[in-house]
Amino acid sequence: MNAEKIRVWDPLVRIFHWSLVAAIAIAWLTGEDGETLHEWAGYVALGLVAFRLLWGVVGPKYARFSQFVQGPKTVVPYAIDMLKHREKRYLGHNPLGALMVVALLATTTATGVSGWLLSEPARMAMLPGIPVIATPAHADSDDGYEREDDEDAIEEIHEFLANLLLLLIVLHVVGVVHASVRHKENLALAMITGNKPAPGPDDVT
């Protein structure tokens, strides 16, 4: 591996990455007991995702989605090469890593939005796609319906998404470890310093 280092990850990408790690960890650890802290951690995560979407358009080269998000014609051959231990090293996100980034951003957003709906059930009325599942027996004096069934459904969706997010994070860590070993570089450290070994002649930049 080339001993020379070059800057790949800009400061804002690195701050976003570790801030999102912290926000998700806090949200996960306070899911049962710390309602207020749990909600605020979720709001911070949503804000970070919103920033990352913007930075993925206007940020520097390796932060941009146009640089690393690939279609199936690139992702599938890369996955096959990885299984055969012959995949190329990418200076930025590799195709599978890019797919994971998109999955993590989407799942974090869906988890946060479902949690936002749960924090104030009346907000569900703003979403016409969610049917009103209630009977006159559920009527109350304030808004006509308690929509308890809807709340239960959203809660189940929120818990499913939170568990899916945890699974994706585990797979992400496994992928980081695999790529670090395979290409003899510390990807976690690179996300702290911003620096990675300079590309060799066979690497993808």
pLDDT digits (tens, 9 = 90+) for 106-116: 999 999 999 99
Contact 133, 150 (CB under 8 A): yes
Nearest one of 104, 105, 12, 14 to 53, comparing CA atoms: 105
Average pLDDT rounded to a whole number, residues 154-183: 96
Note the pTM of the prediction, 2 decimals: 0.86
What does the pLDDT look like over 43-71, one tens digit per residue? 999 999 999 999 999 999 999 999 999 99
Is residue 140 scored above 70 in pLDDT? no
112-118 CB contacts, 8 Å cutoff, 24+ apart: 112/42, 112/43, 112/45, 112/46, 112/49, 113/46, 114/154, 114/157, 114/158, 114/161, 115/38, 115/39, 115/42, 115/158, 116/42, 116/43, 116/46, 117/154, 118/151, 118/154, 118/155, 118/158
- Least confident stretch, 135-139, 143-147, 159-163: 135-139
Percent of the chain whose predicted confidence (pLDDT) is above 90: 77
- pLDDT at position 150, please? 72
The confidence band for 2, taking pLDDT boundaries of 50, 70 and 90, is low
- pLDDT at position 121, please? 67
Which residues, listed in sequence order, are joined to residue 204 by a DSSP beta bridge? 90
Spatial CB neighbours of 45, under 8 Å, sequence gap ≥ 6:
20, 23, 24, 27, 108, 111, 112
Nearest one of 160, 162, 151 to 125, comparing CA atoms: 151
Nearest one of 146, 154, 164 to 118, comparing CA atoms: 154
d(CA 164, CA 108): 10
Q: Which residue has the higher pLDDT, 126 or 159?
A: 159
Torsion of CA 93, 94, 98, 104, to 10 degrees: -80
Average pLDDT rounded to a whole number, residues 173-199: 96
- pLDDT at position 153, please? 85
Contact 168, 100 (CB under 8 A): yes
- The mean of the pLDDT values for the chain is 89
Q: Give me 178's structure tokens.
A: 């695999």
d(CA 187, CA 177): 8
Is residue 145 scored above 70 in pLDDT? no
- pLDDT at position 134, please? 41
Is residue 12 scored above 50 in pLDDT? yes
Q: Give me 3's structure tokens.
A: 């001993």
Domain 7-128+146-194: which CATH class? mainly alpha
Q: Which residue has the higher pLDDT, 33 or 144?
A: 33
